Structure 1
Amino acid sequence: MARYRDENRRLWDEWSDTFQSYWNANTADGELPPAPSPFDTDRAGGMAPDPLEAVAGADYVELGCGGGQGSVGTARLGADSVVGVDFSGEQLRHARQLRDFYGVDARFVQGDVTDLPLPDDAFDLASSEAAFQMVPDLDRALAEAHRVLRDGGVFVLSLPHPLYEALDAETRTLEGNYLDAGPREVTVDDGYESTLVLFDRTVADLSNALRNAGFEVNRMLEHVTDPVADADPADSDRPDVLWEVPRSVRFRAVAR
């Protein structure tokens, strides 16, 4: 399993500049890059009934923070302390730069989500966006998420939907096997030596793994686009079939 983790880390260190440029491609001159929080009021899977009230004053950690967008966005909502963890030093460089752009207080540390360099019972809120599908040992990662949350702490876990990942948009058929968790290797670009290694767990497997780790899953959403608000297929150049299957799945789970 370590080799899969190391392969993904090498890929992200190599790919980070290009990926973050894609993320920021629509940023106009003089504007700050986007930094959405998973607890924004218009984000699926957020807190209920009032995300802003719940985030203000909370201690928050982003697991697999990448360029730090969720960390910075949550700091802007008023979280008391914010920590982002990622295994890629290059991704963390972008995260610190984004933090400085916004002038918020957030700490970014290098580490593995299956062995977090963080104390027990340290956070009220945690989230992970499109990261745990790269983790070979899902059970250990979820156990670590549970360990660092206080009793009653909320974990928002979002992943690419495994059905979406298996779909061939051109033929409207399943190219992959929905029931095959992987590993699946993806060549990001011919110019990179490393490949992206993914694990496409079923929705049932993800939900059960959260429960086995000690979480109470009290909300799950499958949605076509993110953000969900104001999405209009008529304004998109995506193939029609991609509007007929969920693009991602998001769990809201409480540590017990």
Structure 2
Amino acid sequence: MENITLPAPDPNGIIPLSPGALSAENHGHKKSFGHFALIYDLAQKYWVRPRIHKADPRRHGEILSNMLKPFQTCRVLDVACGTGAAMAYLDKSNHYTGLDLSYPMLKRAVKKGRKKKFAAARFIHGNAEEPLFAKGAFDLVVMDTALHLIPDCAKALAETARVLKHGGTFVCSVPTLGIDARFDARWKGIMARSGVHGLTLEELERACADNHLSLSRHANNGGILYFLARKG
């Protein structure tokens, strides 16, 4: 799949691939998500999606299922996979790679992966800004409500495009300003104190175009935008 030699998985089934140097922002995220790993899924379902994103959690799953189920026997990279929520919407015939900066989150993802029984699965402790895979290594890259949290989101998007093969697909859900007034009002206050990004559709379209990705808007759910971007 790639032209690097990966280390062997550790006793928890996680492959260590983290670069030595991380930004202060990434160190902060790593620590925060480590603390919330045990309650992350419940927090997303009952707090983050309905109260912050102003989105229906059930519809979130339905939309992602609709977007991801058609992909079969693909080489899939799940960027900033967290606890592996997106795995539920992927066909088990795929060869799955989950990448995240939080080791405790990955431990939970490994358990879900074992239950899912993909054709092949691996979980990598690494950085979305520097994933270290070869150009064109994946047929599909997934990023589920994570892009806005990555400190250098422009670099992460560029790396997503790099590791996609020609004709490959990027499937993304991301909180986006300008599509839901209730979300906008809440998000602008959060941005001021939390350092998350306030992305717009126009910014996403421009960033995708700069990386040879053709963005196609799929759906909205409160303040969450769902899109596919094909690499040309």
TM-score (norm. length: structure 1) = 0.67
The AA in structure 2 aligned to 1:158 is S
Kindly indicate whether residue 110 of structure 2 is the aligned counterpart of residue 96 of structure 1. Answer: yes
The AA in structure 2 aligned to 1:94 is R
- Residues of 2 paired with 1:24 and 1:177: CA distance? 21
Kindly indicate whether residue 25 of structure 2 is the aligned counterpart of residue 4 of structure 1. Answer: yes
Identify the structure with the greater helix proportion.
Answer: 2
Q: Report the CA distance between 1:138 and its aligned residue.
A: 2.0
Q: Report the CA distance between 1:21 and its aligned residue.
A: 4.2
In the alignment, which of 61, 76, 82 is matched to residue 60 of structure 1? 76
Question: Is the 8 Å Cα contact of residues 63 and 128 (structure 1) preserved in structure 2?
Answer: yes
The AA in structure 1 aligned to 2:32 is L
Write out the 4+ residue segments of structure 1 that deviate beyond 6 Å after TM superposition: none
Distance 1:150 1:200, change over 3 A: same
Question: Is the 8 Å Cα contact of residues 68 and 94 (structure 1) preserved in structure 2?
Answer: yes
In the alignment, which of 84, 87, 90 is matched to residue 71 of structure 1? 87
Distance 1:37 1:91, change over 3 A: farther
Which consecutive unaligned segments of at least 5 residues does structure 2 have?
A: 1-21, 47-57
Question: Is the 8 Å Cα contact of residues 82 and 100 (structure 2) preserved in structure 1?
Answer: yes
Kindly indicate whether residue 229 of structure 2 is the aligned counterpart of residue 253 of structure 1. Answer: yes
Instruction: Look up the match of 1:236.
Output: none
Distance 1:68 1:7, change over 3 A: same
SS in 1 for 2:36: helix
In the alignment, which of 34, 45, 49 is matched to residue 13 of structure 1? 34
**Larger Rg: 1 or 2?**
1
Question: Is the 8 Å Cα contact of residues 164 and 247 (structure 1) preserved in structure 2?
Answer: yes
Question: Is the 8 Å Cα contact of residues 188 and 198 (structure 2) preserved in structure 1?
Answer: no
Instruction: Look up the match of 2:193.
Output: 185
In the alignment, which of 181, 185, 193 is matched to residue 174 of structure 1? 185
Kindly indicate whether residue 213 of structure 2 is the aligned counterpart of residue 215 of structure 1. Answer: yes
Question: Is the 8 Å Cα contact of residues 100 and 127 (structure 2) preserved in structure 1?
Answer: yes
The AA in structure 2 aligned to 1:19 is Y
Question: Is the 8 Å Cα contact of residues 63 and 219 (structure 2) preserved in structure 1?
Answer: no
TM-score (norm. length: structure 2) = 0.74
Question: Is the 8 Å Cα contact of residues 37 and 69 (structure 1) preserved in structure 2?
Answer: no
Aligned residues: 197
- Residues of 2 paired with 1:6 and 1:174: CA distance? 28
Question: Is the 8 Å Cα contact of residues 175 and 199 (structure 2) preserved in structure 1?
Answer: no
- Residues of 2 paired with 1:39 and 1:177: CA distance? 26
The AA in structure 2 aligned to 1:84 is G
Kindly indicate whether residue 147 of structure 2 is the aligned counterpart of residue 129 of structure 1. Answer: no
The percentage of aligned residue pairs carrying the same residue is 19
Instruction: Look up the match of 2:51.
Output: none
- Residues of 2 paired with 1:122 and 1:152: CA distance? 12
Question: Is the 8 Å Cα contact of residues 84 and 107 (structure 1) preserved in structure 2?
Answer: yes
Distance 1:24 1:202, change over 3 A: closer
Kindly indicate whether residue 126 of structure 2 is the aligned counterpart of residue 107 of structure 1. Answer: no
